A and B are shown apart, each in its own frame.
Chain A
Amino acid sequence: MTDPAVISRSFGISRSAAAKAPGRDAVRDKGWWRAHRFLVLRRLSQLAVFGLFLLGPLAGLWVVKGNLSSSLTLGVLPLTDPFLLAQVLATRHWPETSALLGAAIVIVFYATVGGRVFCSWVCPVNVVTDSAAWLRRKLKITTGRAPRGGLRYWLAGAVLLASAITGQLVWESVNPVSLTQRALIFGGSVAWGAAAAVFLFDLLIAPRGWCGHACPVGAAYALIGSKGLLRVAATHSSRCNDCADCYAVCPEPQVIVLPLKGKAGHGPVITDRDCTNCGRCIDVCGPDVFRYTHRLDSKRD
C-alpha cells in the first residue's frame, strides 16, 4: 500500500476541465483507436469469456462448462475461484482434487501475470462499474464518498470468519460477480438486482465503490497478483502535462501518484496491488506517458 500521507482524496481532478471528458486530447493526438484500444480489447476479452460459457447452452458447443465459480474447459482443464475455495475450506469441507487443482491453476496464472487482471479483463461486474463511473462523469455527479480502500481486505477476512462460524459459503448469497454471471449463463432475473445494486451504489453513493473498495473477490485477486510480472509503468513521465485524465478514468487512482511523480523515490512501475492492469490510463494519455511492461523495468525518461 502507498503511504496514506501522500494520497489526497481529490487528486487534483477538479482543477482540470479536461477531466469531465477524459481522453479527448488523446483522441485528437493519437486517433480514436489508440485512445481506446485497451478498453475495446478488455470488452472483447470479457465478451469472449462470457461467450465461451454461453456457447454450450446456446449452440450446444461445450467448450467450457460451469461458471466463474468453477468450470471445466474441454473436459480437462478445471478452474476454480480461489476466494470461493477459501470459503469452502473455512467451512472445514475438504473438496475433491479437481476443485483444489482448479484453484491452484488460477492462483499460479494470476500470480504470474499479476495485478487484478481478473477484475478488469474477465469479471462481468467490471462493465457495470465502468458504466456507472462513465455516467457519473457524464452527469457530473460529484457527491458521494467511497469507503476506505482497505475495507475489502477486512471484508475478505470477515467473510472467511463468517463462513467458518456458519458452515455456509457466506459471500455466495450476495456476491454480485457470481450472481450476475450465473444469471447470464443459467438464466434468472432476480439476480440482476445484484448488478443493479452495484450500479446504483457506484453511481449515487460511492464513486468506484464496489469494485474499488468493497469487493472481497477483487481483494483476493489483488493479494494473489501482488507480485506478478505484468505491470503498467509511467515510463515517459517527463512528457506528463498534468491533464489528470489518467486519474479521472483510473478505477484505483491512488496507485498512479507515486510512480508518475516519482515521489518518495518510487520507480516508474505501478506496483500497488490494487492496480487492475486495465490499461485505461495508457489509452487516455495524450502524450503516451504509460505503457505495459514487466515489474522489473525501471526505465524512465
Chain B
Amino acid sequence: MTLNRRQVLQASASATTAGLLAGGAALLGRPALARPAQALRPPGAIAEADFLGACVRCGLCVRDCPPQNLKLSRWGDGLARDVAIGTPYFVAREIPCEMCEAVPCVKACPTGALDHRLTDINQARMGVAVLIDQENCLNFLGLRCDVCYRVCPVIDQAITLEKVSNPRSDRHAMLLPTVHAEHCTGCGKCEKSCVLEQAAIKVLPTAIARGELGHHYRKGWDATNQGGRPHFDAPVQNLPAQPVPGDLAPLRSGREAYDPAAAASANATHPAGPGQ
C-alpha cells in the first residue's frame, strides 16, 4: 500500500480530531476524581482512581442489592453531579448498607471493581464513621441516646461507649460513642439512625476520615510494632529484688531510714512480715 500526500493529510486530520475528542472526553471525566464525601462506594470497591478504570457502569451490583440502597450516578441530581456518571454509590443518611452476609453486590460485579476477595462483609471498608459534631451529639450533652452505638452491626467493637465523668454535674457520667476505625465497615447505619436533624456521626471516605501516624513512630506498648526497637514489656530499670542500703524512698514517705540490722531483727520478732 502506498500513501500519497492526500491520504497522509486526511489521516493526520482524522487523528488530530480523534485526539481532541478523546482528550475532551478524558477532561470531562476528570472532575469525577473529586467524589463528594457523602457518596460512598459499595463494599469491596477498590481505590477510587483504580475503580474509575475498572467499573463498567453496568449496574449489576445495583440490581443485586437487596435493600436497594445502591444507585448509579446519573449526573444532574444534586450529589451525583460530582460522581462519575453511571458508577454505583450510596448515601448513608438515605439508605445505609445492610451488610448482607452473602455480599451479593460484590459477587455480581463482572470486572472486579468490587474486589471478589471480599467474602466477609465485616472486612468491608466503605468508609469510616466519625462522630463529627460533638457539640450536638446528645451523649456528649450528657443524655443517654446511644442510638448509633446500638444500631452498629459491629457493636462494642466499631463503636463503644466510653464512660467519663460529666464535669457539669460532677456526679453523673457521660457515655461517649467512640469509633474504632479498625473495626468500622462504613455501613452508615449510625449515620442513618442518628436522631438529630443533621447526623452528628457521619461516614466519611477513609482518606478524608483518617490521619496517618509518622512512619518512624513506634508504639512501645504495642508488641506487634517493635520494628527492632527495645522491648518495654520488661521494667525499664531492673530494681533490686531486696531493699538496698541508702534507699531514700522510705525517707520521702516520712518513715525511718532503712537499716538492714533493724530489718533483720524485726523479721525475727514478726515472722509473718510487716503490716501486722
Which A173-195 residues have a C-beta within 8 angstroms of B? 173-174, 178-179, 182-183, 185-191
Asked whether, in the complex, the Cβ of B108 is within 8 Å of the Cβ of A72, the reply is: yes
A interface vs B, CB < 8 Å? 4, 56, 62, 65-67, 69-72, 78, 80-81, 84-85, 87-88, 91-96, 98-99, 102, 147-148, 150-151, 154-155, 157-159, 161-163, 165-174, 178-179, 182-183, 185-191, 214
Asked whether, in the complex, the Cβ of B22 is within 8 Å of the Cβ of A95, the reply is: no
Contacts of B226 in A (CB 8 A): none
Known pairs A80-B56, A99-B110, A170-B26; list 14 more (Cβ under 8 Å).
Answer: A66-B60, A70-B60, A80-B58, A81-B56, A91-B50, A95-B110, A150-B11, A154-B18, A162-B25, A168-B52, A173-B26, A173-B29, A179-B86, A191-B75
Contacts of A147 in B (CB 8 A): 14, 17
Asked whether, in the complex, the Cβ of A93 is within 8 Å of the Cβ of B111, the reply is: yes
Contacts of A150 in B (CB 8 A): 10-11, 14
Per the bound structure, the CA–CA distance linking A85 and B113 in Å amounts to 12
Asked whether, in the complex, the Cβ of B56 is within 8 Å of the Cβ of A158, the reply is: no
Task: Say yes or no for B21: interface residue by CB 8 A criterion.
Answer: yes
Asked whether, in the complex, the Cβ of B54 is within 8 Å of the Cβ of A173, the reply is: no
Per the bound structure, the CA–CA distance linking A61 and B60 in Å amounts to 15
Task: Name, among A62, A185, A186, the residue most crowded by chain B CB atoms within 10 Å (CB to CB).
Answer: A186
The contact sample of 14 A-B pairs, CB cut-off 8 A, is: A67-B58, A95-B112, A150-B11, A155-B17, A158-B21, A158-B22, A162-B23, A166-B26, A173-B85, A182-B57, A183-B74, A186-B74, A188-B75, A190-B76
Per the bound structure, the CA–CA distance linking A93 and B30 in Å amounts to 18
Per the bound structure, the CA–CA distance linking A61 and B156 in Å amounts to 41
Contacts of A88 in B (CB 8 A): 53-54, 56, 111
Per the bound structure, the CA–CA distance linking A120 and B269 in Å amounts to 110
A16, chain B: closest CB distance, angstroms: 28
Partner of A155, one of B22, B32, B113: B22
Interface size on B, residues (CB 8 A): 49
Asked whether, in the complex, the Cβ of A170 is within 8 Å of the Cβ of B59, the reply is: no
Asked whether, in the complex, the Cβ of A62 is within 8 Å of the Cβ of B63, the reply is: yes
B interface vs A, CB < 8 Å? 7, 10-11, 13-15, 17-19, 21-26, 28-30, 32, 49-50, 52-60, 62-64, 71-72, 74-77, 84-86, 108-113, 116
Asked whether, in the complex, the Cβ of B112 is within 8 Å of the Cβ of A148, the reply is: no
Per the bound structure, the CA–CA distance linking A183 and B74 in Å amounts to 8
> Which residue of chain A is the closest to B6 with respect to CB atoms?
A4
Partner of A174, one of B14, B25, B30, B53: B25
Per the bound structure, the CA–CA distance linking A96 and B54 in Å amounts to 10
Asked whether, in the complex, the Cβ of B28 is within 8 Å of the Cβ of A162, the reply is: no
Asked whether, in the complex, the Cβ of A182 is within 8 Å of the Cβ of B110, the reply is: no
Per the bound structure, the CA–CA distance linking A157 and B72 in Å amounts to 28
Per the bound structure, the CA–CA distance linking A84 and B110 in Å amounts to 12
Contacts of A163 in B (CB 8 A): 53
Contacts of B26 in A (CB 8 A): 162, 165-166, 168, 170, 173
Q: A72-B108, A155-B21 are in contact. Are A95 and B54 (CB under 8 A)?
A: yes
Nearest 6 pairs of A and B residues by beta carbon: A188-B74, A91-B53, A70-B58, A154-B18, A190-B76, A158-B22
